[in-house]
Amino acid sequence: MSEPRVFLLPDLGEGLTEAELVAWHVSVGDEITVDQPIAEVETAKSAVEVPSPYAGIVAELHGKPGETLDVGKPLISVTPLGSVVAADDAAPAPSPAQPEVEPAETELVEPKPESTEAEAYREEEKAGSGNVLIGYGTPGGHGVARRTRSRKSSVAVADPAETTPVSLSKEDELALLRTRVPGKLGAVISPLVRRMAREHGVDLGDIAGSGDSGLIMRRDVEAALRTTAPAATPEAKPEATPVAEPVEAPERPVESVEAQGRDARTGLAVSARTPVRGVRKAVAANMARSRSEIPEATVWVDVDATALMELREGLKANGVEVPGLLAFIARFVTAGLKKFPELNTRIETADDGSQEIVAFDGINLGFAAQTDRGLVVPSVRGAEKLSARELDAEIRRLTQVARDGKATPAELGSGTFTLNNYGVFGVDGSAAIINHPEVGILGVGRIIDKPWVVNGELAVRKVTELTLTFDHRVCDGGTAGGFLRFVADAIENPTSLLADI
């Protein structure tokens, strides 16, 4: 049997150097195929299923669920399927009473057909599957089809020259290391939820799901474990505890309040300790960096949005498909950024401490989206080229993929300016933190009825508050105020900019 091939944890996205292993989808001894999902990992960007670039038998799983793995470190070892077939099919040594080979059978007995999986593996080795990992696919042109059974003999005799695996070159291993794995639905995976519930004895029928349409999610099972599982004690363990298979979901023992200790400063018992990782870890690091590096300033203005609301109602009455309010405001923001490009820039600092302002030929408009995994900021690429309807369609699409955990690193990390609609939370204003390394973020509060002076008379109008937080290094208050006023005027007189809607 040849040496197993080691698959290294690939680069999961720009700037990401680690990932938390959520669960294995395979176990030692399983036969796997090229492109088969082998593990679920969670990064600061999204939840991802990692496919295997190799076919064969799982020899070793490098890591346990719940562990944080570094990019470039071993993830799984796979013994090539051809070498396993050769070892399994090899005939035992003949006894003295039995001839080694009967010449008549040598010519007449057909060889045992090789397995479909082995044949597929060899074909994929020769050509590369092309769809395992984004950008590279499986290595092509380096594999050698290996035959483990003579076509004219009933006795399987492996040819060492044919069964010796072809090891990947350093260039191929580097290609695998640098490949990008497509983000897949990871926040909710029904088999994972069912497996967790089964392994921990949780009755899914007793759980009220917190997902859409009452869908039971992983956090629901974990919450049930925290409220029902007793504290583990050494006496409760049987004398012979079976070794847990690596495919099992991470065991999260529920500690009692006494076991977690008492806080020295407050004197209160500690009820829970939650590791900061994944999306929450990335958000915390980015917000802390923004506060420490960016000298920000904030300006705000109340805006009469009555005309915009009436425009949307009129379009609805005519049976026209109407974009959401955020799409209209996004259209005004992109027009404002073209007029005030200083807010669509980034500051870069060189190794010698010198700085420069980097301007962009285009606008990638990010928008804050609340998901089950935390706050993420997908961005509409080339937003300045889109109409309000096109912006609405893209915003809806990105919101859905972000909530499903399918957003790619490019969709989550390429923004040049951020729009934040915190009005959906029922608040009027917020001193938002700039999404580093951008230099500005515009917040939109809720739209409510307020008294407003119109043509010298008091009236009830639909009013919202716009708040702009900007990096004072790239522009002064005049530029920031000009941009904010431009967007406000567009909301109050929407037809001036919505000829294309």
For the stretch 247-303, pLDDT in tens is: 444 445 544 444 568 899 999 999 998 888 777 787 888 889 999 999 999 999 999
Average pLDDT (84-108) is 46
Phi/psi of residue 466, each to 5°? -100, 135
Pair 73, 9: CB distance under 8 Å: yes
| Angstrom distance (rounded) from CA 456 to CA 102 | 111
pTM metric for this prediction: 0.55
For the segment 40-51, what is each residue's pLDDT rounded down to a tens digit? 887 765 677 888
Question: Choosing from 62, 142, 436, 472, which is the catalytic residue?
Answer: 472
pLDDT given for residue 194 in this prediction:
67
Q: Is a pLDDT exceeding 90 seen at residue 415?
A: yes
Mean pLDDT: which of 111-115, 185-189, 257-261 is highest?
Answer: 257-261
Phi, psi of 443 (to 5 degrees): -105, 145
**pLDDT grade for 365, boundaries at 50, 70 and 90:** very high
CB contact burial 334-359 (16+ within 10 A = b; e otherwise): bbbbeebbbbbbbbeeeeeeeeeeee
pLDDT at 300 (0 to 100): 96
| C-alpha dist (Å) from residue 250 to 64, 196, 197, 218, 337 | 7, 9, 12, 12, 47
pLDDT at 466 over 50: yes
Specify the pLDDT at position 58. Answer: 92
Nearest to 344 by CA among 412, 442, 431, 411: 442
pLDDT at 310: 94
Q: Where are the beta strands (DSSP E) in 360-404?
A: 365-367, 369-371, 374-376, 379-380
pLDDT for res 416 = 97
- Could you tell me the domains of the chain? 5-178 (2.40.50.100), 279-496 (3.30.559.10)
Please say if the pLDDT value at position 216 is more than 60: yes
Q: How far is CA 329 from CA 215, 334, 376, 394, 484, in A?
A: 33, 9, 19, 14, 12
The percent of residues in the chain predicted with pLDDT above 90, rounded, is: 40
Position 437 pLDDT exceeds 90: yes
Better pLDDT: 1 or 377: 377
Contact assessment for residue 445 and residue 428, using Cβ atoms and an 8 Å cutoff? yes
Please give the DSSP secondary-structure letter assigned to residue 358.
E
The answer to whether the CB of 20 falls within 8 A of the CB of 278 is yes
Report the C-alpha gap between 221 and 231 in whole angstroms: 17
Question: How far is residue 72's CA from residue 11's CA, in Å, rounded to a whole number?
Answer: 8
Residue 185 has pLDDT above 50, yes or no: no
- Assess whether 200 carries a catalytic annotation: no
Q: Angle between the 116-127 and 81-89 helix axes, to the nearest 10 degrees?
A: 150
pLDDT band (50, 70, 90) for residue 319: confident
Least confident of 206-220, 287-301, 425-439: 206-220
- Interval 215-241 mean pLDDT: 62
Establish whether the linkage from the previous residue to 437 is cis, with ω within 30° of 0.
yes
Tell me the mean pLDDT in the region 9-14. 70
Q: What is the pLDDT of residues 439-461, one digit of tens each?
A: 999 999 999 999 999 999 999 99
Mean pLDDT of the chain: 76
C-alpha distances out from residue 15 to 7, 12, 344, Å: 20, 9, 22
Query: 2-6, 347-351, 474-478: which has the minimum mean pLDDT?
Result: 2-6
Place of tokens 């191929």: 172
pLDDT number for residue 214 = 66
Query: For the residues 156-181, what does the mean pLDDT come to?
Result: 44
pLDDT at 199 over 70: yes
